[in-house]
Structure 1
Amino acid sequence: MTILVAYVPRPEGEAALDKGIEIAKRRGEHLVVVNASAGGGKADPSAVDGDDAERVQAILKNSGLHAEFKQLVRGKNAVDEIEDLVESMRVSVLIIGLRKRSAVGKLILGSVAQDLLLSVSCPVLAVKAES
């Protein structure tokens, strides 16, 4: 089985990564960390840059786990990419990070976390960053 972590370069992404490593070690499962972005012309604050991708890969290498990092920029939104991964892999749990947002922020921008909670076919563990 595989543990899938939806990673963003923010404190909630770091919390999800830490929890994913902890659970994968405890269960002896494969860990896949994914950062997904539609790409295109405008900058996406959820997309990792080269330095952050290297840092995450180094963390995974030093974890002692069978782990990999995937950065997907294929024109699809993050929810669709993660749903596809859940369906194509044997995912035991999807780990996502949550951040506090205002009601207006949720209304205008939507919520990737909410969409994932409602749409994926595997258990979802939502974690918060330390305050």
Structure 2
Amino acid sequence: MRIVAGFLRSPEGRAALDRAIDETRLRDGELLVVHSMKGGERDEAEQVMTYRAEFEQLETRLKDEGITYRLVEYARGNSPAEDLLKAAEDESADLIVIGVRRRSAVGKLVLGSNAQDILLQAKCAVLAVKGEE
């Protein structure tokens, strides 16, 4: 089974990644972790370095867990939803694991929702995981 998860530093992102690791182990699958950046924009250098350091720590964790994995980092100017959906399609994923959080109707309208886009457009199953409150 091929499982795709995004890499986010939020509680929802961490919960989704933990669950993706559990699902990968449970199903003796392969995990693809996608880190999506808006390359070419004003990404703060310190923020990018922090993400990269945590991404490297994740690699150490995945090695220690003994699961099959790949880490990819995209800076193509796409939204995280677009990058996750494209990666899932390219890899013929069986499952996408995403983190979700409660948002107001106005927040969804103004900012859009990566989770909603993934839920509605994915060609495979999607597991939505809530982060700790």
Please indicate, yes or no, whether the TM-score normalized by the shorter chain is above 0.5. yes
> 2:91 corresponds to which residue?
89
In structure 2, relative to structure 1, the CA distance for the partners of 1:48 and 1:91 (3 Å cut) is farther
Q: Distance in 2 between matches of 1:86 and 1:48?
A: 25
Deviations 1:82-113 (A, max 9, x none): 22112111211100001122222111110000
Q: Distance in 1 between matches of 2:88 and 2:79?
A: 15
In structure 2, relative to structure 1, the CA distance for the partners of 1:49 and 1:123 (3 Å cut) is same
Deviations 1:40-99 (A, max 9, x none): 223388996221111211221111101122111112222222221121112111000011
Which runs of 5 or more structure 2 residues have no equivalent in the other structure? none
Which residue, 98, 101, 107 being the options, matches 1:99? Answer: 101
Say whether the 8 Å CA contact 1:35–1:48 is kept in structure 2. no
Q: Which has the higher helix share?
A: 2
> 2:120 corresponds to which residue?
118
AA aligned to 1:57 is E
Say whether the 8 Å CA contact 2:5–2:84 is kept in structure 1. no
AA aligned to 1:29 is G
Which runs of 5 or more structure 1 residues have no equivalent in the other structure? none
CA RMSD of aligned residues (A): 2.0
Q: Distance in 1 between matches of 2:125 and 2:49?
A: 24
Q: How many residue pairs align between the two structures? A: 131
Q: Give me the identity figure in percent.
A: 37
> 2:35 corresponds to which residue?
35
AA aligned to 2:30 is H
Say whether the 8 Å CA contact 1:7–1:96 is kept in structure 2. no
